[in-house]
Amino acid sequence: MSDPSAVEVIRRKRDGRELSDEQIAWFLRGYTAGEVPDEQASALLMAILFRGLTERELATWTTLMIASGERLNLSGLSLPTIDKHSTGGVGDKISLPLVPLVAACGAAVPMLSGRGLGHTGGTLDKLEAIPGFRTKVSNAHFVTQLNTVGAGIIAAGPGLVPADQRLYALRDVTGTVESIPLIASSIMSKKIAEGTRALVLDVKVGAGAFMRDEDSARELAEIMVGLGEAHRVRTVALLTAMDAPLGRAVGNGLEVQEALDVLAGGGPSDVVELTVALAAEMLQLAGIDEDPAQALADGRAMDRWRAMVRAQGGDPDARLMTAPLREDVFAERSGIVERVDALAVGEAAWRLGAGRARKEDPVSPTAGVTLEVVEGDEVEAGAVLARLHADEEPALAAGREAFGPAIAIGSRSPRERPLVMGRVAPRGSR
Ligand code: URA
């Protein structure tokens, strides 16, 4: 089609008809170049949210997203490359111990990461709580670092899937983030363009995640695994629980401290369990026969962390800053902690200053929440449930209000739920 009208493309999807490859190409190219205006792109995204994309449309959409920018070439690395991506959760600092752990076991982990938006934190924001740590490095520096240290976590540059950078910002302000095909193509286009040969996806399920129920999480996982395979990136997904926050720390520097505890052989059991489970999947995909629990326990992962921090300009021995304001939250009654609500804790951390409402907002390296209890704990009235950390009074007040409903105390022990709820592997290799 030489000159399709934007209105015709929007109407077609609105009415539930399939778009041609030419129509998708015209739209993505035009929008990335600034020729299709936001209002027409918003209308098409909303039509996709309601009507979905067929398998063919999604394949074309993803391929053209990748083609909108550069692809990193990691083929010169001597080690097998493997990466991990999480769909985002509260207290999800797993990448921090995981990347050096997998590198310590013999793989190269080229992680291009993002910043947090809303109630979920971003890995780059966490790393920038480390004095001196640089998340912007050149491709050449990154490749050298992967050859020497085997681990790197950096910001995706503007050349990587520029179509997604524009579309994601628009989806964020038009209520069109929650579309399974749009999420799948957004995540997978970036991971495929990054040049990794294999990928493990951590698809979060629950109240604190994009995917609230297991069926939609599985659908998203299956679509992403299929896209990975179609682009020759070996991909496996774990479905993992995100009803309560991961670990006890939520907030940038607070989460770095918790990751350091894990690397030192301690830390909360759920963070350790998920780190080891994801590492085991990554090593299996990379064809490496090593026990990640051992590499965590014997300090090899910590050594790799320190080397990675140094390679990116940070000081692994620097003290992390702490927030000037701290306030405890007390139990109003005695009982059992029935629920710690990930969404409420995430929103509280965000209001305290750890997250941003708009892409360009700054974040505090010190603000956040530390939990003193987890689900199933027995507490007495007056016991400390959590501590709020903030840089200034208005943020503390906003965080206090948001934290209000986060912890429910009752009389029943909560139902035990597995952290790893399921696994999705490519057809024929389960
Ligand atoms: N993360 C992404 O990169 N894209 C989405 O669409 C959702 C989460």
| SS3 (DSSP) at 353 | helix
Q: What is the DSSP letter of 120?
A: B
Centre of ligand 1 from the C-alpha of residue 58, in Å: 15
Q: Which residues of 368-383 are buried (b: 16+ CB within 10 A; e: fewer)?
A: bbbbbbbbebebeeee
What's the 173 CA to ligand 1 centre distance in angstroms?
Answer: 13
27-30 own/partner pairs: CB under 8 Å, 24+ apart: 28/61, 28/64, 28/65, 28/68, 28/163, 29/64, 29/68, 30/6
According to the model, what pLDDT value does residue 2 have?
43
Tokens 């301690």 -> residue: 266
Catalytic residue chosen out of the listed positions 164, 202, 270, 341:
164
- What per-residue confidence (pLDDT) applies to 430? 60
Contact 398, 330 (CB under 8 A): no
pLDDT for res 1 = 42
**Chain segment 345-393, per-residue pLDDT in tens:** 999 999 999 988 777 788 999 999 999 999 999 999 999 999 999 999 9
CA–centroid distance for 384 within its chain: 30
- Is 183's C-beta closer than 6 angstroms to any atom of ligand 1? yes
What are the boundaries of each domain within the chain? Answer: 6-52, 83-318+420-424, 325-410
CATH class, range 6-52: mainly alpha
Residue 79: predicted pLDDT: 95
Q: Is 201 in the pocket of ligand 1 (CB under 6 A)?
A: no
Ranges under pLDDT 70 in the chain: 1-4, 116-120, 430
DSSP state of 265: T
Identify the CA nearest to 53 among candidates 155, 206, 176.
176
User: How does strand 151-155 pair with strand 109-113?
Assistant: parallel
The 3-state DSSP class for residue 218 equals helix
- How far apart (Å, rounded) are the C-alpha atoms in residues 121 and 115? 7
pTM over 0.85: yes
Domains 6-52 and 83-318+420-424 share a fold: no
* Cα distances (angstroms) measured from residue 206 to each of 84, 87, 209, 212, 214: 20, 12, 5, 4, 8
**Ligand 1 within 6 A of CB of 191:** no
CATH class of 325-410: alpha beta
Structural domain 83-318+420-424, CATH architecture: 3-Layer(aba) Sandwich (3.40)
pLDDT at 118: 65
Tell me the CA–centroid distance for residue 216 and ligand 1, in Å: 15
Instruction: Assess whether 171 carries a catalytic annotation.
Output: yes
The residue whose CB lies within 8 Å of the most ligand 1 atoms, and thus the one to mutate among 86, 117, 185, 187, is 187
Q: Is 187 in the pocket of ligand 1 (CB under 6 A)?
A: yes
From 120, 160, 186, the mutation candidate for ligand 1 (largest count of ligand atoms within 8 A of CB) is 186
231 included as an active-site residue: no
